């Protein structure tokens, strides 16, 4: 488990991270989302022990991570702008990382390189951006660390490769102690893989929620009622977050379980009623508006 407690980091007059507290549980995919400049990369670097927080502390499995070799050996960090030494091949990178990660699995690495159709002997500087991202993900998985920090790792991957990397992460979680932490500015990239989401805004955590719990307690329903009076009654009886009308069709986003919401609507004898799946983006729009923010002001 990773525990981040009241961590802050400033660079001159810029406060990159401000009093952030987070818990990242074992064997879950944690998504750290926020706009560019929200503080995601700084927070990941501190969690990886690369930077020291100005205030607060970060514990990895109960031990301080900064300047602690035992803690750092549990973490593989993939930077958004990773550096590869000149003329290095993937095999050279393996020899380099084996010096730092005692559990690095060379056979696993070679097998994954073959599956992703990447040449171990080819110079990395001839790889495309997407190929470099794939290589880094393979190196991270092969290192055998408990935690893998990914900073915009899916950026530059085509849809097929993006899904392949997600499947690789899911397989690792099933077979060993493995916890990926994925930082991204794109909500859609994380929707089908993350168990928990933390929203970072202007250096602070706006909300941190279990994704399934969020989906369980917010639903969107479209229905047609026989008269306006029943619509008004329904608005008062439900914890409505958002309501829209398209002709006779009423679109309601409300907080509560699916059963609770449907029971209320069915009591009004609707002419038509259907639950519509909510996207992660729609859920966040609801949550941030309740917190007094507009999603467009966070991500755009």
Average pLDDT over residues 25-44: 89
The pLDDT of residue 261 is 92
Q: Does pLDDT of 300 surpass 70?
A: no
What is the band of 203 on the pLDDT scale with cuts at 50, 70, 90? confident
Average pLDDT over residues 68-88: 91
What is the band of 288 on the pLDDT scale with cuts at 50, 70, 90? low
Angle at which helices 129-142 and 106-115 pack, to 10 degrees?
A: 150
Segment 177-199, tens digit of pLDDT:
999 999 988 777 787 788 898 88
The pLDDT of residue 217 is 85
Long-range contacts of 160-163 (CB under 8 A, 24+ apart): 161/116, 161/130, 161/133, 161/134, 162/189
Q: Does pLDDT of 37 surpass 90?
A: no
Segment 83-121, tens digit of pLDDT:
899 999 999 999 999 999 999 999 999 999 999 999 999
In sequence order, the 6+-apart residues with CB closer than 8 A to the CB of 184 are: 31, 32, 33, 40, 152, 154, 155, 190
In sequence order, the 6+-apart residues with CB closer than 8 A to the CB of 49 are: 58, 65, 66, 67, 68, 71, 72, 75
**pTM for this predicted structure:** 0.83
Give the separation between CA 236 and CA 300, rounded to whole angstroms: 33
Segment 221-235, tens digit of pLDDT:
999 998 888 888 988
Segment 160-180, tens digit of pLDDT:
988 999 999 999 999 999 999
The pLDDT of residue 54 is 95
Q: What is the CA radius of gyration of the chain?
A: 23
Count the Cβ atoms, other than its own, within 10 Å of residue 25: 12
């Amino acid at each position: 488990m990773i525990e981040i407690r009241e961590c802050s980091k400033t660079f001159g007059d810029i406060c990159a991270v401000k009093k952030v507290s987070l818990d990242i549980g074992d064997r879950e995919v944690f998504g750290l989302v926020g706009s560019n400049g929200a503080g995601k990369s700084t927070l990941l670097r501190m969690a990886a022990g690369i930077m020291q927080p100005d205030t607060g502390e970060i514990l990895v499995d109960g031990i301080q991570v900064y300047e602690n070799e035992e803690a750092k050996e549990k973490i593989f960090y993939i930077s958004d702008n990773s550096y590869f030494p000149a003329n290095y091949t993937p095999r050279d990178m393996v020899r380099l990382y084996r010096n730092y990660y005692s559990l690095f699995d060379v056979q696993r690495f070679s097998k994954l390189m073959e599956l992703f159709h990447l040449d171990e002997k080819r110079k990395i500087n001839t790889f495309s951006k997407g190929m470099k991202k794939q290589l880094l993900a393979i190196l991270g998985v092969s290192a055998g660390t408990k935690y893998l920090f990914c900073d915009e790792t899916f950026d530059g991957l085509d849809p097929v490769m993006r899904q392949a990397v997600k499947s690789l992460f899911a397989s690792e979680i099933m077979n060993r102690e493995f916890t990926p932490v994925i930082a991204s500015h794109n909500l859609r990239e994380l929707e089908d893989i993350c168990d928990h989401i933390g929203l970072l805004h202007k250096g602070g955590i706006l909300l941190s929620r279990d994704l399934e719990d969020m989906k369980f307690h917010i639903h969107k329903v479209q229905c047609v009622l026989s008269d306006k009076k029943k619509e008004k009654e329904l608005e008062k009886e439900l914890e409505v977050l958002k309501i829209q009308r398209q002709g006779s069709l009423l679109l309601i986003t409300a907080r509560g379980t699916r059963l609770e919401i449907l029971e209320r609507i069915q009591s009004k004898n609707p002419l038509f009623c259907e639950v519509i799946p909510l996207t992660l983006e729609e859920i966040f729009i609801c949550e941030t508006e309740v917190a007094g923010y507009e999603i467009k002001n966070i991500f755009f």
